[in-house]
């Protein structure tokens, strides 16, 4: 979208408008719009890092252009002493650019292990609750190309299957909420450029250098690849090819869920018939995982080993009753019933 055409459609604040004259920023915006496309109200998750600040700028322009309601939220995890002041600083800087953000705070006891995982889950939980309150079905996240690569290698190190390797997608849907990542094929360096050019500011999270986290070790590994002239774009091509293969599997998962599963929205209950489990293992595994996520209202799937154990027990035993992923799973004769725990 050219600046001329954009201005013909809307009137935008001067501080936002002047940055769109930059050819590099205009190109980034066009890429953002290509992968975003939605014409519904949305929520934007802002952390204060360069990727999320760039996302805030792009999403604001988009919402003005298409006259869509956009809400911006900064999550204060309170995992570091300075986090609250940083959240307030980000809020004040965004306000100068006509981007009004609200701070969501994570209260309560903080974990000592799996800190990043817990923080991510809590962040999504806070955002989903606010979406539900606002009756908005779309959450926009700032994941970019480097995140896509990091996630790919993390899943390789964890022994993930096809779904795990391509789990970071432009669009995921959980509990009637769309998680959208329109920057997924955008380079980190471009987002850093945009944040510096527009805001002359972004927060550097010290945990991004802490090698006790697997993600940081992977990040260092990818940098070593770059130094060795290994082309990152080849990995991106591999991920795209895997996604194409995954679409075939998804077809049969949807078929299994459609033909062998009954969902009672009123009772928040799923009933699986015997034929549900007479499929190839990957189809059963992912169909069952999706069913548990629907009833348990969880963003992330339960661990594969636990899921496999339950599937095997259901197949082998005449009667089974157990819990998994916030659900009660009960086998009665040839039928499996999944209800909220």
CATH assignment of the domain containing 311:
3.30.465
pLDDT in tens, 289-307: 989 988 987 766 777 788 8
Q: Are residues 224 and 291 in the same domain?
A: no
Same domain, 62 and 102: yes
Say which CATH number the domain at 225 has.
3.40.50.620
Indicate the pLDDT class of residue 261, thresholds 50, 70 and 90.
Answer: very high
Average pLDDT, the chain: 88
**What is the structure's pLDDT at 299?**
65
Residue 174 has which token pair? 């959980």
Q: Note whether 274 and 204 are same-domain residues.
A: no
**For the chain, how many residues are written?**
341
> Residue 117 is part of which domain span?
3-230
Q: What is the pLDDT, as a whole number, of residue 212?
A: 74
CA 246, chain centre distance (Å): 18
Q: Which pLDDT belongs to residue 5?
A: 53
pLDDT of residue 40: 93
* Residue that the structure tokens 């130094």 belong to: 227
Provide the domain count of the chain.
Answer: 2
Same domain, 144 and 278: no
Q: Are residues 190 and 278 in the same domain?
A: no
184 and 311 assigned to the same domain:
no
For residue 87, the model assigns a pLDDT of 93
User: Does residue 237 lie in a domain region?
Assistant: no
Widest Cα–Cα separation across the chain: 69
Q: What would the pLDDT profile of 302-328 be if each residue is shown by its tens digit?
A: 777 888 899 999 988 888 999 988 899
Q: Are residues 172 and 278 in the same domain?
A: no
Examine the domain organization and report whether 103 and 141 are in the same domain. Answer: yes
Burial 270-302 (b: 16+ CB within 10 A, else e): bbbeeebbebeeebbbbbbbbbbbbbbbbbebb
In a domain? residue 236: no
Q: What is the mean pLDDT of residues 324-333?
A: 90
Please give the share of the chain, as a percent, with pLDDT higher than 70: 95
Sign of CA dihedral 193, 214, 184, 146: positive
Is there a domain that residue 29 lies in?
yes
Q: What would the mean pLDDT of 141-152 be, rounded to a whole number?
A: 91
Q: Among the listed ranges 2-6, 83-87, 192-196, which one has the minimum average pLDDT value?
A: 2-6
Does some domain include residue 238?
Answer: no
- CA 160 from centroid of its chain's CA atoms: 18
226 & 252 share domain? no
Examine the fold and report which residue of 230, 264, 295 is the final residue of a domain before the chain moves on.
230
Question: Looking at the structure, do residues 171 and 222 belong to the same domain, yes or no?
Answer: yes
End-of-domain residue from the set 230, 261, 282 = 230
Calculate what percentage of the chain has a pLDDT beyond 90: 50
Residues 93 and 181 in one domain: yes
Residues 83 and 212 in one domain: yes
Position 10 scores a pLDDT of: 56
């Amino acid at each position: 979208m050219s600046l001329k055409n954009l201005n013909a459609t809307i009137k935008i604040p001067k501080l936002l408008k002047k940055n769109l004259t930059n050819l590099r920023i205009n190109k980034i915006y066009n890429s953002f719009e290509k992968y975003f496309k939605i014409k519904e109200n949305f929520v934007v998750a802002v952390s204060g890092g360069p990727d999320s600040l760039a996302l805030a700028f792009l999403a604001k322009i988009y919402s003005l252009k298409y006259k869509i309601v956009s809400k911006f939220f900064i999550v204060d995890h309170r995992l570091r002493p300075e986090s609250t002041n940083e959240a307030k600083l980000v809020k004040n800087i965004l306000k100068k650019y006509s981007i009004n953000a609200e701070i969501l705070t994570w209260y309560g006891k903080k974990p000592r292990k799996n800190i990043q995982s817990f923080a991510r889950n809590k962040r999504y939980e806070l955002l989903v609750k606010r979406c539900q309150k606002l009756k908005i079905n779309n959450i926009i996240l700032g994941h970019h190309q480097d995140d896509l690569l990091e996630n790919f290698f993390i899943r390789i190190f964890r022994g993930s299957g096809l779904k795990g390797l391509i789990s970071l997608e432009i669009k995921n849907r959980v509990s009637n909420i769309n998680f959208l990542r329109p920057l997924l094929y955008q380079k980190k360096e471009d987002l850093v450029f945009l944040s510096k050019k527009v805001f002359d500011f972004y927060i550097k999270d010290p945990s991004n250098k802490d090698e006790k986290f697997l993600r940081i070790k992977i990040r260092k590994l990818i940098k070593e690849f770059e130094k060795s002239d290994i082309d990152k774009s080849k990995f991106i091509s591999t991920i795209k090819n895997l996604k194409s293969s995954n679409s075939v599997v998804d077809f049969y998962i949807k078929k299994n869920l459609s033909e062998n599963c009954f969902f009672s929205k009123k009772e928040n209950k799923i009933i699986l018939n015997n034929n549900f489990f007479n499929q190839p293992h990957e189809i059963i595994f992912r169909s069952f995982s999706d069913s548990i996520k629907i009833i348990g209202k969880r963003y992330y799937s339960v661990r594969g080993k636990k899921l496999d154990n339950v599937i095997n027990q259901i197949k082998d035993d005449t009667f089974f009753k157990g819990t998994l992923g916030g659900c009660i799973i009960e086998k009665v004769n040839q039928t499996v019933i999944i209800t909220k725990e």
